[in-house]
């Protein structure tokens, strides 16, 4: 059976553990790709203001024929819009562009640490949350020191922290810190944008199980309890990535994959990205 488990966030909202990521899906291809994902059974879509395809994601969700309450939709506040009024306006624009009454999850995309404006952005997200136009709010690319700032300044604990995680970047420290504070980890680039697909150790496990290397890596995330939304613009890969719930990795497989961690990022380190000297 291919039923996607749900994770309960710290405010009681439930999120499908597997979704469809839309980064680098061209805007003109996004509507069809999202409709294909929904047809396959995905009920969780991850987009962002930065991706330039919110409109098309919204169109697909509205035209899919699936009840709005049955699809979990996430977007993210763009960098440079952390000032309170900018963040409020940007959220309104997202809802308008998507043609939706509410979002399920809205995140601060990057902390942009140097100017520390993420605290102001968090105040805006908190007010949007209180207004009922988003079911849950969270952050992305936050390190424990960024989260500590939020804890000092706000009573609302982020529901999720969306960070880069894959077998080459296990992020044990940030995940454990989040877990201690009730923050779920969403793992972006779960197959390291394809880098782990030729890994000989993962390939060996895949061969034993009669699965693909992508499926083994994605299943590793699932068994660690993280939320994932691999991106593919190809139907057969979308199907493959959705088929993760009819097999299991052994404890030895998980331990083996843990040894592959080498702190290797596909994206920038959050402390350096957007750094203003």
Ligand X SMILES: NC(=O)c1ccc[n+]([C@@H]2O[C@H](COP(=O)([O-])OP(=O)(O)OC[C@H]3O[C@@H](n4cnc5c(N)ncnc54)[C@H](OP(=O)(O)O)[C@@H]3O)[C@@H](O)[C@H]2O)c1
Query: Which residues are catalytic, by number?
Result: 51
DSSP class of residue 181?
T
Which of 241, 244, 249, 260 touches ligand X by CB under 6 A?
A: 241
State the binding string over 194-223 for ligand X (x if CB under 6 A, else -).
x--x--------------x-x---------
Token couple for 221:
């995330």
Among residues 75, 132, 133, 86, the alpha carbon closest in space to that of 108 is found at 75
Which of 55, 181, 237, 265 touches ligand X by CB under 6 A?
A: 237
**In terms of DSSP bridges, do strands 44-46 and 20-21 run parallel, antiparallel, or are they unpaired?**
parallel
Say what angle helices 118-130 and 144-153 make with each other, to 10 degrees.
Answer: 60
**In terms of DSSP bridges, do strands 184-188 and 227-228 run parallel, antiparallel, or are they unpaired?**
parallel
CA separation for the pair 90, 12 (Å, rounded): 26
Least Å distance, CB 190 to ligand X, is 5
CA separation for the pair 103, 93 (Å, rounded): 12
> Apex CA 193: angle with CA 134 and CA 75, to 5°?
10
Tell which positions 130-149 bind ligand X, by CB under 6 A: 140-141
Tell which positions 47-106 bind ligand X, by CB under 6 A: none
Tell which positions 2-21 bind ligand X, by CB under 6 A: 21
Which of 42, 72, 168, 188 touches ligand X by CB under 6 A?
A: 188
Our finding on whether 191 is near ligand X (CB under 6 A) is yes
| Greatest alpha-carbon span in the chain | 54
Least Å distance, CB 20 to ligand X, is 8
- Binding segment for ligand X (CB under 6 A), chosen from 2-10, 119-127, 173-181, 237-245, is 237-245
Our finding on whether 35 is near ligand X (CB under 6 A) is no
Which of 62, 149, 193, 204 touches ligand X by CB under 6 A?
A: 193
């Amino acid at each position: 059976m291919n039923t996607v488990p749900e994770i309960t966030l710290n405010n009681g909202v439930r999120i499908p553990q597997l979704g469809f990521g839309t980064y680098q899906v061209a805007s003109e291809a996004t509507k069809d790709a999202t409709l294909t994902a929904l047809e396959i059974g995905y009920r969780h879509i991850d987009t962002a203001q930065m991706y330039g395809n919110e409109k098309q994601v919204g169109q697909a969700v509205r035209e899919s024929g699936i009840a709005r309450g049955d699809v979990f939709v996430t977007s993210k506040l763009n960098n440079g819009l952390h000032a309170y009024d900018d963040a409020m306006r940007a959220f309104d624009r997202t809802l308008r562009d998507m043609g939706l009454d509410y979002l399920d999850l809205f995140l601060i995309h990057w902390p942009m640490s140097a100017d520390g404006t993420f605290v102001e952005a968090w105040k805006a997200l908190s007010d949007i949350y209180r207004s009922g136009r988003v079911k849950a709010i969270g952050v992305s690319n936050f390190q424990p020191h960024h989260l500590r700032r939020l804890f000092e300044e706000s009573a609302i604990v982020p529901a999720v922290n969306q960070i880069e995680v894959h077998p080459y970047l296990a992020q044990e420290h940030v995940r454990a810190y989040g877990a201690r504070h009730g923050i779920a980890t969403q793992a972006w680039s779960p197959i390291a944008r394809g880098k782990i697909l030729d890994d000989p150790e993962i390939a060996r496990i895949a061969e034993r199980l009669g699965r693909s290397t992508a499926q083994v890596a994605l299943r590793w995330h699932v068994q660690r309890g993280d939320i994932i939304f691999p991106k593919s613009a190809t139907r057969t890969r979308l199907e493959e990535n959705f088929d993760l719930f009819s097999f299991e990795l052994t404890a030895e497989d998980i331990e083996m994959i843990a040894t592959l961690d080498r702190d290797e990022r596909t994206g920038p380190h959050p402390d350096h990205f957007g750094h203003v000297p």
